Amino acid sequence: MVSVSELKHKFFAFSKSSHGRGEASPRRTAISFAVLSIMMLGAVGLYYYSRTFSKIRYLTDRPIPIPIAEGAIQEVLARATPHLIGMIACAFVLAAVSLSFQTITQSRVLTPSMVGFDSVFIGAQTLIVFFLGARHVLFANPFINYALSAGIMVVVSMLMFGAIMRSHRNNIVFLLMFGLVLSSIVMSSSTYLRLLMTEGDFFQLMARTSVNVNNMNVTIVWITLPIMIGVCAATLFRHRRYNVMVLGSEQAKGLGIHYERELRMNLILIAIGMSAVTALIGPLTFLGLLAVNAAREVFKTYKHLPLFIGSAMMSAVVLIAGQGAMEMIMGAVPVTVFIDVVGCAYVFYLVLKENRI
Amino acid sequence: MIEVKNITQSYGKNVDILKDINFTVRENCVTALVGANGAGKSTLLSVIANLIPARSGEVLIDGKAVAKIKTADVAKKVAFLKQSQHFDIRIPVKDVVEFGRFPHCGGRMKDADNKKVSDALEYMDLKYIAHKYIDEISGGQRQRAFIAMILAQDTPYIFLDEPLNNLDMKYSVEMMKIVKKLVTDLGKTIVVVLHDINFASAYADHIIAMKDGKIHKEGSPAEIVNSEILNPVFGHEFNIVERDGKRVCLYFN
């Protein structure tokens, strides 16, 4: 006679093995990377195509074709390139900081945007314009402005670090509450301050803070690019430490990780990375989350090196191919809208599945 | 040698967890920390391993204050295993053991590191499940995997915080036998926090009984396991019997 618990046990043992829960074999990992590389090339091709030839066809495939000026294609291609580079860099940074954030908070559902990192950027811009005016050098000069907002974000993340440390552990509920309160205060007070501004200041501010993938702040691509490469490299080189930190703060400390310093270092990296992304393409809450979890599903490992590279590539593919497709189909709708819809649904799924945050 | 000098620790302003603790860890011994819940056993262990800074006082490892030694260097002297881990992240047993080499190689495994890992797996009889994931194996096997990790860490001192939690008697006894073996075979010095006084009585060489953040009494099991000492430590009436040369506390009164 077989007892119910035995049956249950057998059933679960079976369902575990049938889902192929083992780590992806080196061969499978290599194939996944190859496929991702091809997809990335395809995405880049699609994006260039949508920016140039699909628009040319739109103009020429009509009873009376609209003539294309000579050199127009090269001109458009040259303008699309900084956009493309900006998108790739943002996608990489979002994936990297989301993964490291998930490791330090030991959660698969959180990303830095969810704790209000990007609202700080908007709040900082609003405060600068409100008190100093849009003509002040701190706002008008894009480089100084970027440096200032990145600095403010680092300071805020340090305050957050202090709050986490006071509670003696990675208290995720506390972190989420902090982010929720922070972003609602910042957003509502920014809205209020905007009402008090002059018209000119208001429009300048809106131009700076309503950036998205369609409407990228191209001026600062070249200054944020080295910063974003730096953030990605710094997280990538720490991959062995993240592996140990998967064991939890106390065990990681026991294995010689200076946990507080790692935490602080990571929050600074996240703040710098998020400031660059938010300044370039605005808030993008769910891309990092989607990419990191997709990479976990594909590579089935806790090791951070393949996860970093895989999630960076996935996030770039989604962003670039999605944006290319959107430009072809819908014109002005940024792909981020769709990414957020899908990502939001995925978060619901994750929270329900794992039954925790 | 590890010396603990005038350690105090408190949570918040008024709650003193440890009050002026002084002792020297006995070399090549299993030292058991026993006491009631909240007596400060686990906190003391964490302070000695430098996981929590002490409010005042100092811990000396080979004459050097632990707070002044780099975290990675402390991890070459003291291995610490905490039991309240919940693992939902899937890691193969072999990789868990490799983590033990992290203080030495920073995650870049060399031949010498692989040798230590392989020895640790062999010693803990884990070779046959080295590729399995820690969430697929039994509680006892998982515990052995983590012991193998701290063996690979290759430290003279090993601190175990309630290693018998969530283990049934069979695995608990197996675990304590392993702990004894580490001392006799490999010359380790082990400090272990135990909830069950009978395990301390049966397997420890030295017992430190803690009460209200202070060391109430320390000594050999023969000296400590009697009702005059244990009754106040646990705030409970003990009936102690001797059988086959070992003292057993009956506390189901």
Q: In sequence order, which residues have a C-beta less than 8 Å from that of residue B157 and are 6 or more positions away?
A: B2, B25, B61, B77, B78, B79, B188, B189, B190, B191
Q: So what's the pLDDT on residue A39?
A: 93
Q: So what's the pLDDT on residue A348?
A: 82
C-alpha dist (Å) from residue A75 to A70, A72, A284, A333: 9, 5, 29, 23
Lowest mean pLDDT among A199-203, A341-345, B72-76, B94-98: A341-345
The 10 Å CB-count burial string (b at 16+, else e) for B176-186 is: bebbbebbeee
Q: So what's the pLDDT on residue A17?
A: 38
Higher pLDDT, A333 or B238: B238
Q: So what's the pLDDT on residue A139?
A: 85
Q: So what's the pLDDT on residue A171?
A: 67
Contact between residue B84 and residue B133 where contact means Cβ atoms under 8 Å apart: no
What part of A 122-161 touches B (C-beta under 8 Å)?
none
> Is the Cβ of A258 closer than 8 Å to some Cβ of chain B?
yes
Contact between residue A67 and residue A73 where contact means Cβ atoms under 8 Å apart: no
Answer yes or no: is pLDDT of B25 > 50: yes
**Helix residue ranges per DSSP H, A285-334:** 287-299, 304-329
Q: So what's the pLDDT on residue A164?
A: 65
Nearest to A320 by CA among A340, A306, A309, A334: A334
Question: Rounded mean pLDDT of A47-72?
Answer: 80
Q: So what's the pLDDT on residue A357?
A: 55
Rg over alpha carbons for chain A, rounded to the nearest Å, is 23
Contact between residue A301 and residue A281 where contact means Cβ atoms under 8 Å apart: no
Question: Rounded mean pLDDT of B43-50?
Answer: 88
- Per-residue pLDDT of B68-102, as tens digits, reads 888 889 999 999 988 656 666 788 999 999 999 99
Q: Is B40 helix (H, G, I), strand (E, B) or coil?
A: coil
Domain range for B191: 2-250
**Which residues from A are below 8 Å from B95, CB to CB?**
302
Q: Which residue of A has its CA nearest to B98?
A: A244
The single-letter DSSP state of residue B9 is: E
Q: Is A72 helix (H, G, I), strand (E, B) or coil?
A: helix
Lowest mean pLDDT among A31-40, B13-22, B83-92, B112-121: B83-92
Q: What's the CA gap between B235 and B36, in Å, rounded?
A: 8
**Which residues from B are below 8 Å from A253, CB to CB?**
50-51, 71, 80
> Is the Cβ of A244 closer than 8 Å to some Cβ of chain B?
yes
Contact between residue B22 and residue B73 where contact means Cβ atoms under 8 Å apart: no
- Per-residue pLDDT of B117-169, as tens digits, reads 999 999 998 999 999 988 888 888 888 899 999 999 999 999 999 888 878 88
Q: What is the CATH number of the domain that holds B206?
A: 3.40.50.300
How many other C-beta atoms are found inside a 10 Å radius of the C-beta of residue A333?
Answer: 13
Higher pLDDT, A62 or A355: A62
Give the pair of three-digit tokens for residue A326: 């959107």
> Is the Cβ of A247 closer than 8 Å to some Cβ of chain B?
yes
Q: What's the CA gap between B121 and B138, in Å, rounded?
A: 16
Question: Rounded mean pLDDT of A202-221?
Answer: 83
Consecutive H or E run containing A303:
none
Question: Rounded mean pLDDT of B34-43?
Answer: 87
CA atoms within 13 A on the CB side of B159: 27
CA atoms within 13 A on the CB side of A30: 3
The residue to which tokens 């408190």 are assigned: B10
The residue to which tokens 């951070």 are assigned: A304
Nearest to B195 by CA among B185, B215, B180, B209: B209
Q: What's the CA gap between A197 and B25, in Å, rounded?
A: 68
Q: From the candidates A19, A165, A251, which should be mutated to test the interface with B, based on the most B CB atoms within 10 A?
A: A251
Q: What is the ipTM of this complex?
A: 0.86
Nearest to B193 by CA among B36, B3, B50, B66: B36
Q: So what's the pLDDT on residue A356?
A: 61
Q: In sequence order, which residues have a C-beta less than 8 Å from that of residue A309 and are 6 or more positions away?
A: A33, A236
Q: From the candidates B17, B82, B129, which should be mutated to test the interface with A, based on the most A CB atoms within 10 A?
A: B82
**Rounded to the nearest 5°, which phi and psi values hold at B19?**
-125, 105
Q: So what's the pLDDT on residue B86?
A: 60
Question: What pLDDT band is residue B17 in, cutting at 50, 70 and 90?
Answer: confident
Minimum distance, in Å, between the CA of residue B13 and any CA atom of chain A: 13
Q: So what's the pLDDT on residue B79?
A: 92
Answer yes or no: is pLDDT of A10 > 80: no
Q: How many helices (H) and strands (E) does chain B have?
A: 10, 12
> Is the Cβ of B160 closer than 8 Å to some Cβ of chain A?
no
> Is the Cβ of B75 closer than 8 Å to some Cβ of chain A?
yes
Consecutive H or E run containing B82:
strand B78-82
Nearest to B91 by CA among B125, B136, B127: B136
Q: What's the CA gap between B107 and A338, in Å, rounded?
A: 39
- Does this model's pTM top 0.95? My answer is no
Answer yes or no: is pLDDT of A332 > 70: no
Q: What's the CA gap between A221 and A62, in Å, rounded?
A: 37
Q: In terms of C-beta density within 10 A (0-12 exposed, 13-18 middle, 19 or more buried), how is residue A30 classed?
A: exposed
> Is the Cβ of B100 closer than 8 Å to some Cβ of chain A?
yes
Query: B24 has which bridge partners?
Result: B3
Question: Rounded mean pLDDT of A89-105?
Answer: 92
- Per-residue pLDDT of A284-327, as tens digits, reads 888 898 999 999 888 888 899 999 999 999 999 999 998 888 88
Higher pLDDT, A56 or A202: A202
Q: What's the CA gap between A284 and A337, in Å, rounded?
A: 9
Question: Rounded mean pLDDT of A197-221?
Answer: 84
Total domains in chain B come to 1
> Is the Cβ of B151 closer than 8 Å to some Cβ of chain A?
no
Answer yes or no: is pLDDT of A20 > 50: no
> Is the Cβ of B102 closer than 8 Å to some Cβ of chain A?
yes
> B75, A21: Cβ pair inside 8 Å?
no
Q: So what's the pLDDT on residue A6?
A: 46
List the Cα angle B182/B184/B186 in 5-degree steps: 55
Average pLDDT, chain A: 82
Nearest to A209 by CA among A292, A325, A197: A197
> B71, A258: Cβ pair inside 8 Å?
yes
Answer yes or no: is pLDDT of A9 > 60: no
Of all residues in chain A, the percent with pLDDT exceeding 90 is: 22
Q: So what's the pLDDT on residue B84?
A: 56
Question: Rounded mean pLDDT of B4-18?
Answer: 82
Angle between helices A287-299 and A26-51 (to 10 degrees): 150
Q: So what's the pLDDT on residue A12?
A: 40
**Which residues from A are below 8 Å from B102, CB to CB?**
240, 244, 255-257
Higher pLDDT, A347 or B183: B183
Q: Is B6 helix (H, G, I), strand (E, B) or coil?
A: strand
Q: From the candidates B17, B42, B71, B193, which should be mutated to test the interface with A, based on the most A CB atoms within 10 A?
A: B71
> Is the Cβ of B108 closer than 8 Å to some Cβ of chain A?
yes
Question: Rounded mean pLDDT of A45-61?
Answer: 82
Contact between residue A285 and residue A240 where contact means Cβ atoms under 8 Å apart: no
- Per-residue pLDDT of A151-191, as tens digits, reads 888 888 788 767 766 655 556 677 778 788 888 898 899 98
Give the pair of three-digit tokens for residue B51: 């996981």
Q: So what's the pLDDT on residue B95?
A: 92
Higher pLDDT, A273 or A24: A273
Answer yes or no: is pLDDT of B33 > 70: yes
Contact between residue A321 and residue A39 where contact means Cβ atoms under 8 Å apart: yes
